[in-house]
Structure 1
């Protein structure tokens, strides 16, 4: 798959740190997110793929004010926990 090929290429260049983000919808911010058919459903899956490819230092996004697409804080915290459980080493955020 394309992402795995990029991970391999970066690994070959000595890259050890990644910021793993789900990304914005293809139609742009505000549109509903639909994962690519051959891609990852969410950031937690991407973290798992990265961790499976090597012992990387992986940063992920966190939302102190709740992700705009998340129905509630519990769901948002669950996603952050899944990212950490899959191998994230830190969470980064920004305030709006």
Structure 2
């Protein structure tokens, strides 16, 4: 009985690891220095200007959940651009809140 339980747990753990690896591969990857259009293309959503003077703008990307009740995140990803290049971001679409 113990062997069967251990086998089931091992198979479940392997399935979770495989699902996690697949999610990480399909997740968009942001890199410092990307341009505005590259970031929008990587995320697959339009960027909305929030504030900032020319050369130091803050943009917001909202996930496209299309009204799905099963969406894990609905908050925005804030993106800081300096001199037209991505300098930082705040928020993580890959993390699910409890």
TM norm structure 1: 0.25
TM norm structure 2: 0.25
